[in-house]
């Protein structure tokens, strides 16, 4: 029997983490967040492609224009051009079925479409900018993570305001997005390096050359030293991310669950990465499935009260020797 391709199928195909967390959302937000993720993934697929920087800018600008005008006359040609230079097979399936995603998006209320386009445009601009600008410092890293992830936090915050009449802290929303992005940047360091992309601040590496850190075992001590700095950068966002979640009221309980699972999984990943030289060797750092199920089960059962989250923060920042378990 032929597989029915719909937005849920596409989400499952391109994102393990969002496929896990989006079902936790309140009913009024599920489809909107699913579609926003898939639209962002299309832009990300263009960024990751082998097109040159100028063509990427043209394609991202063209995609934003499709969203604004709802004109899909050139969509087939647009899809073909992107697919030819895409590097991930699952992303190619998403691009091939972009019309399914767009159809759902065009059906949203204009207010929702407007905030979606606004943050996707900003995300796309940042991706274009960093095609030919190096991430040299931690300030650059924060800036890059703002464009590719904090904009997602802001979109979600705006969506909750529209749909639930709930005002949440925008700066803390940015920290939530940056925290999750930094975790991924640390975790995927070797994969990115092999694809000739370095998202760690280049000033961390001797002579701004990352190669020995990923290829020469003699650099192990230096590698571990910069890993500490990267984890510190991620953890700088963690407190605000948790406090953002603590402020989410019961009328948006599903949204609290959605954010909490993502952040707790990020935190568990941080604990696995601390002192772990495998980051530089390319071995996958992955939370055991039983741990993932435990996190999801506890979150859905509202185990993580604000008091428990306060305790988690206290443990996370009061022990210098380790990033402890939340148990």
User: Per the domain annotation, does 295 fall within a domain?
Assistant: yes
Neighbours of 322 (CB within 10 A): 10
Nearest to 195 by CA among 86, 43, 95, 309: 86
Q: 2 in a domain, yes or no?
A: no
Best CA proximity match to 159, nearest among 63, 65, 35: 35
Is 154 in the same domain as 184? yes
| Co-location of 176 and 282 in the same domain | yes
User: Do 147 and 65 reside in the same domain of the chain?
Assistant: no
Q: What is the pLDDT of residue 147?
A: 98
Same structural domain for residues 122 and 196?
no
Quick: pLDDT tens for 203-231: 999 999 999 999 999 999 999 999 999 99
318 and 179, same domain (yes or no): yes
Interval 28-41: pLDDT, tens: 999 999 999 999 99
Model pLDDT, residue 38: 97
Q: Do 70 and 159 fall into the same domain? A: no
Please check whether residues 126 and 145 belong to one and the same domain: no
Is the residue at 192 inside a domain?
yes
- The domain tally of the chain equals 2
Which CATH number fits the domain that encloses residue 244? 1.10.600.10
What whole-number distance in Å separates Cα of residue 120 and Cα of residue 115? Answer: 8
pLDDT at 319: 62
Give the pLDDT confidence score for residue 284 in this predicted structure: 85
Is residue 73 located within the same domain as residue 200? no
Rounded CA-CA distance 133/144 in Å is 10
Assigned domain for 199 exists: yes
In a domain, 203, yes or no: yes
In which domain, by residue range, is 314 found?
134-327
Inside any domain, residue 178 = yes
Q: How far is CA 273 from CA 141, 198, 213, 288, in A?
A: 19, 18, 16, 13
> Do 138 and 238 fall within a single domain?
yes
159 in a structural domain: yes
Q: Look at residues 132, 156, 187 and tell me which one is the last residue of a structural domain.
A: 132
Residues 6+ apart with CB under 8 A from 126: 143, 144, 146, 147, 148, 151
The answer on 291 and 203 residing in a single domain is: yes
d(CA 169, CA 229): 27
Return the pLDDT at 283.
86
Cα distance between residue 246 and residue 179, in whole Å: 16
Q: Which of 132, 167, 201 is the last residue of a domain?
A: 132
* Same structural domain, 256 and 272: yes
- Domain end among 88, 110, 132: 132
Q: How far apart are CA 233 and CA 28, in angstroms?
A: 34
Distance from the Cα of residue 171 to its chain's centroid = 17
The verdict on residue 1 lying in a domain is no
Specify whether 277 is located in the same domain as 203. yes
pLDDT string in tens for the chain (327-residue length): 557 889 999 999 999 889 999 999 999 999 999 999 999 999 999 999 999 999 999 999 999 999 999 999 999 999 999 999 998 999 999 999 999 999 999 999 999 999 999 999 999 999 999 998 999 999 999 999 999 999 999 999 999 999 999 999 999 999 999 999 999 999 999 999 998 899 999 999 999 999 999 999 999 999 999 999 999 999 999 999 999 999 999 999 999 999 999 999 999 999 999 999 999 998 889 999 999 999 999 999 999 999 999 999 999 998 644 544 443
pTM of the model: 0.93
For residue 145, which of 234, 20, 34, 33 has the smallest C-alpha distance?
Answer: 234
């Amino acid at each position: 029997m032929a597989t029915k391709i719909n937005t849920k199928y596409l989400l499952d195909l391109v994102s393990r983490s969002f496929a896990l967390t989006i079902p936790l959302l309140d009913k009024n937000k599920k489809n909107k967040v699913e579609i926003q993720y898939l639209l962002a993934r299309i832009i990300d697929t263009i960024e990751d492609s082998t097109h040159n920087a100028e063509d990427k800018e043209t394609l991202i600008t063209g995609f934003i224009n499709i969203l604004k005008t709802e004109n899909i006359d050139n969509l087939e040609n647009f899809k073909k051009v992107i697919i030819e230079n895409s590097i991930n097979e699952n992303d190619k399936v998403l691009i091939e079925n972009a019309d399914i995603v767009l159809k759902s998006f065009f059906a949203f209320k204009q207010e929702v479409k407007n905030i979606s386009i606004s943050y996707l445009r900003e995300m796309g601009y940042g991706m274009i900018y960093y095609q030919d600008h190096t991430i040299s410092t931690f300030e650059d890293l924060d800036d890059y993570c703002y464009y590719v992830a904090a904009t997602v936090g802001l979109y979600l915050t705006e969506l909750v305001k529209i749909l639930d009449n709930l005002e949440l802290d925008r700066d803390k929303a940015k920290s939530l997005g940056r925290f999750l992005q930094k975790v991924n940047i640390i975790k995927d360091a070797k994969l990115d390096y092999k694809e000739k992309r370095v998202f760690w601040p280049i000033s961390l590496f001797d002579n701004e050359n990352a190669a020995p850190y990923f290829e020469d075992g003699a650099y192990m001590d230096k590698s571990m030293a910069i890993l500490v700095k990267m984890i510190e950068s991620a953890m700088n966002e963690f407190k605000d991310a948790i406090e953002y979640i603590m402020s989410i009221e019961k009328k948006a309980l599903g949204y609290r669950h959605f954010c909490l699972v993502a952040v707790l999984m990020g935190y568990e990943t941080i604990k696995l990465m601390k002192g772990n030289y495998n980051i530089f060797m390319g071995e996958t750092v992955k939370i055991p499935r039983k741990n993932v199920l435990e996190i999801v089960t506890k979150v859905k059962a509202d185990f993580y009260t604000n008091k428990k989250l306060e305790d988690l923060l206290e443990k996370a920042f009061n022990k210098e020797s380790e990033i402890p378990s939340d148990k």
